Amino acid sequence: MRINIPNQITLARLVLALVFFALLSFYSTEGDGRQGLLAVCFWIFLVAVVTDMIDGYLARTWEQVTSFGRIVDPVVDKVIVCGAFVFFASGLFYDARTGRNITGVQPWMAVLILVRELLVSAIRSFSEAGGKSFAANWVGKAKMFVQSTAVCVILGVLAWYEDTLAWLRVLSVWVTVVVTALSIIAYVNRARAFVLSAAAMGGTSAAPPGSDAPAPQAEGTTSVGETSD
């Protein structure tokens, strides 16, 4: 089976994510070359973000949106973003001299981000099993943009501007935490509205095969602007 170009770009982004994590695993707060390593990671992550927009644009323009892209593209997005925050909260970035994590990301922040993604995935599965689409809204898109921006800011500041823009790194981390928390509330409210609506209609079971009810939609197209939830 031939994989179209947008899906090839998605798979290439997955490879970039693996390279990104492999390089971060070699980081140490002591020794030479650590800023250079973070600079390389910054550019890899930025390329991954750009390719996410490119594959979505090509898929829509060339009318090559596929089930593979709808499923795999958002998974790759979540893997690289959530993985970045897990690394940032790890001991790799703990500075023994100052007794703090130089990224500003605490373990509970990484847990919050992971819990949010798992919760939304569970809510979507429940909603679409009941035959109702649970497409991403502007809150989810804003969350993805803020988280991706925060990763770039953290890497960029640590690589080049730690002495002058440390405040920007701290700000980006806390904005990410707030936006992530607000997105949890927004999606829980959407799920609550769906449950109440389904209860009023007498149940939440999916439509049986062969019925005229619309099929549940997949997670979205292959664009970061449309799949991000």
Mean pLDDT for the stretch of residues 131-157 = 85
Q: Phi-psi bin for 28: left (phi > 0), alpha (psi -120 to 50), beta?
A: beta
Mean pLDDT for the stretch of residues 117-134 = 74
86-110 pLDDT, tens per residue? 999 999 999 988 899 999 999 999 9
pTM attached to this predicted model: 0.82
Q: Which residue in this structure is represented by tokens 């095969």?
A: 209
Predicted confidence at residue 207, as pLDDT, reads 43
**Domain residues of the chain, as ranges?**
5-227
Residue 198, pLDDT > 80, answer no
Rounded-to-integer distance, Cα 27 and Cα 192, Å: 43
Residue 224, pLDDT > 50, answer no
DSSP state letter for 65: -
Among 41-50, 75-84, 116-125, 175-184, which is the least confidently predicted range? 116-125
Mean pLDDT for the stretch of residues 115-137 = 75
Pair 89, 107: CB distance under 8 Å: yes
Percent helix, percent strand, percent coil in the chain, to nearest 5: 70, 0, 30
Residue 229, pLDDT > 70, answer yes
167-193 pLDDT, tens per residue? 999 999 999 999 999 999 888 887 777
127-137 pLDDT, tens per residue? 767 666 666 66
Predicted confidence at residue 92, as pLDDT, reads 93
Residue 122, pLDDT > 50, answer yes
Mean pLDDT for the stretch of residues 146-158 = 96
Predicted confidence at residue 197, as pLDDT, reads 67
Among 103-112, 158-167, 203-212, which is the least confidently predicted range? 203-212
| Residue of 110, 148, 115 lying closest to 227 (CA atoms) | 148
Rounded-to-integer distance, Cα 81 and Cα 150, Å: 10
Residue 212, pLDDT > 60, answer no
Pair 220, 136: CB distance under 8 Å: yes
Predicted confidence at residue 31, as pLDDT, reads 74
Mean pLDDT for the stretch of residues 5-25 = 93
Give the rounded percent of residues in the chain with a pLDDT score beyond 90.
47
Class of domain 5-227: mainly alpha
Give the rounded percent of residues in the chain with a pLDDT score beyond 70.
79
The whole-chain average pLDDT of the chain stands at: 83
